[in-house]
Copies of this chain bind each other. A is one copy, B any other.
Amino acid sequence: MQTARQWQLARRPQGAATAEDFALVEVTVPRPGPGQVVVRNTRLSVDPYMRGRMDDKPSYIAPFELHSPLEGAAVGVVTESRADGFKPGQVVEHFAGLREVSVLDAAAVSPVSLDGHEPETFLGPLGTTGFTAWLGTTEIAPVREGDTVFVTGAAGAVGGLAGQIARLRGAARVIGSASGAKVEYLVDELGYDAAFDYRGTDPAEELSRLAPDGLDMVFDNVGGPQLEAALGRLRLGARIALCGMASQYDGREPYGITNLFELTKQRATARGFIVSDHYDQLAQFREEVGGWLHDGRLSYRESVFEGIESVPEAFLGMLRSGAPTSGKVIVRLEG
């Protein structure tokens, strides 16, 4: 009987999540039923939105269940198939990650055509990370030629790509916020025109200095005071893609935004979105972004952790404000 390890939710976080909220459990791998495939996972995605699923609150995605396996995007290799169209050795992607082995109905598994990309690329720039960045700048709050764009959490996996896609769409000026050394990374490696450290600064002052003529498009990953500062500098007809509110996750005190009236004054639009509503555009996204990757027009970073044991460290490090990680956080398992 084959066994494999999986991360389970040991308890709901009290305030900020801690390592004690996770439990690594060895379970028996069930035999695949008809129409099922067995996948040995080789890359696991660790993403900020998972924090919300640890709480028992209604949200856009169901909470994780206590003492049940956690989930997330993963890439792996089929080791056994009882489903048409899947063969051992095939590379696939699915959303039943944070475990070594997943046994899944064929409908929950998609073949991956690597096309010269590394498997982890399908969790990063060609995965939901890149898809989120592409949707926000393309569909939700489309960047227009000549726009001044502000990306919050710009050194994160999504933010780093969002700023670069904004540029490829014709933005005249791209500004980002991050913390510590990641500020230079934005300008030196990702080609942002300007960036500021949101810690110990007043984001309203920083934006007034860096975007004196205001903002046409905002890609917001963090909410809170940075979103408020961005609202205070909108130009007429500005568009805001509300992607996430990392500053409000993990048991932090909710921040009250006092200047929503700026949306009225500037006839601006704020729109929330979730990638899962847009899978009909996945192929179009992968074709465009895959091309940019092949042409070397997109830079990105990965923070790679080794081994299933490292999941809580990877996850908690990513959530920390001023975290040392930048770019996409991935856990690599032996293939």
A residues adjacent to B (C-beta < 8 A):
59-60, 223, 227, 242-245, 248, 254-274, 277
Which among B256, B264, B266, B271 is the interface contact of A256 at CB below 8 angstroms?
B256
Closest to A59 in B: B265
- Beyond the given A242-B261, A265-B274, A266-B272, please list 11 additional residue pairs across the A-B interface where CB-CB is below 8 A: A223-B260, A242-B263, A254-B259, A255-B256, A257-B260, A262-B272, A263-B270, A263-B271, A263-B272, A267-B274, A268-B272
Chain B residues near A257: list those with CB within 8 A: 256-258, 260
User: Within the assembled complex, what's the spacing in Å between the Cα atoms of A197 and B315?
Assistant: 46
Residues of B contacting A271 in the complex (Cβ-Cβ under 8 angstroms):
263, 267-270
Residue of B nearest to A253 (CB): B258
A240, chain B: closest CB distance, angstroms: 9
Determine if B258 and A254 form an interchain contact, defined as CB atoms under 8 angstroms apart: yes
Give the chain B neighbours of A242 by CB distance below 8 A.
Answer: 260-261, 263-264
Known: A60-B266, A265-B59, A265-B60. A227 touches B260 (CB 8 A): yes
- The interface residues of chain B lying within 8 Å CB-to-CB of A273 are 264, 267
State in angstroms the CA–CA spacing of A258 and B223 once bound together: 10
> In the complex, which residue of chain B has the Cβ closest to the Cβ of A261?
B245
Closest 8 CB pairs of A and B: A256-B256, A264-B272, A263-B272, A254-B258, A269-B271, A60-B265, A245-B261, A242-B264
Assembly CA distance A223 to B256 (angstroms)? 13
Residues of B within 8 A of A265 (CB): 59-60, 272, 274
Bound CA–CA A248/B259 (angstroms): 9
A245 to B255, CA, bound (A): 19
